[in-house]
Chain A
Amino acid sequence: MTDAADEWFTESPDDVWSARWPPGWVAEVADALTRVTDRFRSEPPTLIDSTGTPIDHRVLVQVVAESAEAVLEGTRAVTLTTQDLAEFGGAAANLAVVCDPGSAEMAATDDTGLVSARDVFRRLAANVWSAVDSQVRRLPDGSYRLHWRAADAEMIRQLGARLDGILESDDPTIARLFPPAYGTDNERSVGFDALARYELIDRRRASLGQLSAAVDDPVVDAEQLASVMRAVNDLRLMVGTHLDVSEDEPLRLSSRGNDAAMVMAYERLSQLLVRIVDALADD
């Protein structure tokens, strides 16, 4: 089942989330928690880790107890921060794994009580994570909140400085930012470029500024978000050109030293761009 995350969680501008559970849901979670904790207290099923070794029952019972407590807290909480939600989702996912008889890491069990508990925890984890993972949220007042990951700020700072430094150059990695307006009509293209290039450079600088401002203050209005979107796309074009991305081949890590970081940045920028486009398209 795929519930829209928006129906479960709403967020206010100051990073406070409130949950609106579907009818009967809290009782269902409580019931699933009882089933899993009872089972693991009395007769824990055997789970094996990825190396095939059975997991120590005491460890398992401990994980189940802690995860159950976190899920209980999460469902009772009136408000949650993004961090709370991430932990809540993680705990629910843990419980879904320990309740799953089909998991390769678990010896078979025919306990139908655990299977239905697994489905409850799966659904919970999916909804919690989809709320946290939708990195651009539209807030009730019409503004947007961007959720940056820890590594985003440094990646954007570095790439932003790099783009800013070459915007006025003829560096081949920014050729895509200034296409010839009249195609093969070189004379007219040069004429257009003479008029347009500095205006385009100014606008790109303004968008980059908006992007770095949004890293510090992640609540933006629609116009600012559109500017952030253009800057993310500019960085993506620069990185993609650097990586020589082509349509016919999947992106691969080359043997060149710093490209792993560039490939990761490219993937992350692509993801951010899609989230921003989705958020703006919902208007």
Chain B
Amino acid sequence: MSSTEPLQIVRPDTEQAEALDRPWVVIVWNDPINLMQYVAHVFRKLFGFSKAKADQLMMDVHLKGKAVVSSGPRDEAERHVFALHEHGLWATMQQDD
């Protein structure tokens, strides 16, 4: 490898940087078994939501089939998904589009 080779200036890949910035959302999906009261309780306990907010998200899960319960860095989303799985809820995470 020659040291006289012209220096390649690495330009920041703006697309990739944006991808890193986009938050990860945690989604809870409707399922036919989990009880509505239980789901709302878990939301309150894990995320500290008010009763009204937890109930609203639970109703979204129930009626619309899913709800976004958190949004943030990937490691935080993984912790949330883990805790939701520990409570038996059907949760997944994906990068926000």
Contact = CB atoms under 8 A, between A and B. Distances in A.
Interface in A245-283: 245-247, 270, 273-274, 277-278, 280-281
A185 interface: yes
Interface in A182-228: 182-183, 185, 192, 196, 199-200, 203-204, 226
A186 to B, nearest CB: 12
Interface stretch (B2-10, B11-19, B83-91): B83-91
B69 interface: no
A106 B78 CA distance: 64
Contacts of A226: 45
B90 A233 contact: no
B81 A192 contact: yes
Contact of B86 (A230, A270, A280): A230
A230 B82 contact: no
Contacts of A176: 31, 33, 88, 90
29 contacts: A176-B31, A176-B33, A176-B90, A177-B88, A178-B85, A179-B85, A179-B92, A181-B82, A181-B85, A182-B94, A183-B92, A183-B93, A183-B94, A226-B45, A230-B87, A230-B88, A233-B34, A233-B88, A236-B33, A237-B33, A241-B33, A273-B35, A274-B37, A274-B38, A277-B35, A277-B38, A277-B41, A278-B37, A280-B45
For chain B, which range describes its interface: under 10, 10 to 19, 20 to 34, or 35 or more residues? 20 to 34
Contacts of A247: 32
Nearest to B81: A181
A245 B37 contact: no
Given A176-B88, A177-B85, A280-B41, 5 more contacts: A181-B81, A185-B94, A196-B85, A240-B32, A273-B38
A75 B44 CA distance: 41
Contacts of A270: 35
B88 A237 contact: yes
A196 B82 CA distance: 7
B78 A192 contact: yes
For chain A, which range describes its interface: under 10, 10 to 19, 20 to 34, or 35 or more residues? 20 to 34
Contacts, number: 73
Contacts of A241: 33
A181 B92 contact: yes
Contact of B93 (A181, A203, A233, A277): A181
Interface string A38-61: 000000000000000000000000
Given A181-B92, A200-B85, A246 B78 contact: no
B46 to A, nearest CB: 11
A234 B32 contact: no
A90 interface: no
A185 B86 CA distance: 20
A280 B87 CA distance: 15
Nearest to B26: A181
Contacts of B33: 176, 236-237, 240-241, 245
Contacts of A204: 86
Interface string B58-87: 000000000000000000001001100111
A247 B34 CA distance: 10
